[in-house]
């Protein structure tokens, strides 16, 4: 894999520093090693202030193209992007999405459960208060049972779950931001993690990411 550096905008890493040649150097890398090669630049390539033609580097080294000090953070990003672009097996990255997905499902279920409990509590309190009032006014336990039944039916009918949908939509929105193809970031939130696991590849036809 290769990253080119120079003043020409066709390079992967570019700078408009006049001491940098159009095609100044290139970096060759695999998973473990990074080499920098000078490509006959006018003002030379330097690693820790020593001029080099070809040298193994790591991204803690000070790299200079002519007078230009290379932004190692940016260079690292460019290298990483290239690695991702060439990578097709995203099994490890996909596996890492499972806990993320599960947490969202848990949160969705939690909303249902807590809303259900809240409704039960409200209905119980209203029914109990009504029963107590009837007992205090009429003093007849048989009225209480009748009122209790009516109140239960009425509160079931009148008190409905509130803002559950909004809360769920918020969670689903966040899920579609986080549960995405590790390569192209296409959202996978319309189906379950298990579905995509079985499917084994990204739904985006322009993306070649796969996972087992
Ligand atoms: Zn993809």
Instruction: Please give the residue that has the higher pLDDT: either 3 or 158.
Output: 3
Cα–ligand 1 centroid distance for 134 (angstroms): 65
pLDDT at 144: 81
| Contacts of residue 23, Cβ cutoff 8 Å, sequence gap at least 6 | 4, 6, 8, 11, 39, 41
Q: Please give the domain boundaries of the chain with CATH numbers for all domains.
A: 2-86 (2.60.200.20), 103-178 (no CATH)
Cα–ligand 1 centroid distance for 186 (angstroms): 6
Contact at 8 Å (CB) between 198 and 188? no
Quick: pLDDT tens for 99-129. 999 999 999 999 989 888 988 898 899 889 9
The residue-averaged pLDDT of 179-198 equals 95
Instruction: Please give the residue that has the higher pLDDT: either 3 or 127.
Output: 3
pLDDT at 119: 87
pLDDT at 94: 97
Cα–ligand 1 centroid distance for 140 (angstroms): 70
The residue-averaged pLDDT of 143-148 equals 84
Cα–ligand 1 centroid distance for 98 (angstroms): 16
Token pair in block for residue 170:
């918020």
DSSP 3-state of 10: coil
Residue 152's pLDDT band (cuts 50, 70, 90): confident
pLDDT at 163: 78
Vertex 174: Cα angle to 168 and 179 (nearest 5) = 115
Cα–ligand 1 centroid distance for 14 (angstroms): 28
Residue 145's pLDDT band (cuts 50, 70, 90): confident
| Contacts of residue 174, Cβ cutoff 8 Å, sequence gap at least 6 | 104
Q: Long-range CB contacts (< 8 A, 24+ apart) of 128-137?
A: none
pLDDT at 156: 80
Which protein residues have a CB closer than 5 Å to ligand 1 (ion)?
A: 181, 183-184, 186, 202, 204, 207, 209
d(CA 203, CA 87): 16
Quick: pLDDT tens for 57-73. 999 999 999 999 999 99
Cα–ligand 1 centroid distance for 203 (angstroms): 7
pTM of the model: 0.65
**Is pLDDT above 90 for 151?**
no
**Is pLDDT above 80 for 167?**
yes
Cα–ligand 1 centroid distance for 128 (angstroms): 56
Cα–ligand 1 centroid distance for 121 (angstroms): 46
């Amino acid at each position: 894999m290769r990253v080119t550096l120079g003043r020409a905008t066709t390079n992967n890493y570019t700078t408009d520093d006049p001491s940098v040649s159009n095609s100044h150097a290139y970096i060759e890398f695999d998973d473990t090693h990074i080499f920098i090669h000078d490509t006959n630049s006018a003002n030379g390539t330097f690693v820790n202030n020593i001029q080099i033609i070809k040298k193994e580097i790591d991204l803690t080294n000070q790299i200079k193209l002519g007078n230009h000090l290379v932004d190692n953070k940016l260079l690292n990003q460019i290298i990483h992007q290239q690695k991702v672009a060439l990578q097709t097996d995203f099994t490890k990255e996909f596996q890492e999405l499972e806990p993320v997905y599960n947490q969202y499902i848990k949160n969705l279920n939690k909303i249902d459960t807590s809303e259900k409990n809240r409704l039960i509590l409200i209905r119980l309190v209203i029914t109990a208060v009504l029963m107590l009032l009837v007992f205090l006014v009429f003093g007849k336990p048989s009225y209480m049972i009748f009122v209790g039944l009516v109140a239960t039916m009425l509160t079931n009918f009148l008190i409905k779950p509130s803002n559950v949908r909004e809360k769920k939509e918020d969670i689903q929105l966040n899920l579609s931001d986080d549960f995405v193809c590790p390569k192209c970031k296409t959202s996978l939130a319309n189906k379950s993690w298990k579905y995509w696991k079985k499917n084994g590849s990204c739904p985006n036809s322009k993306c070649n990411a796969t996972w087992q």
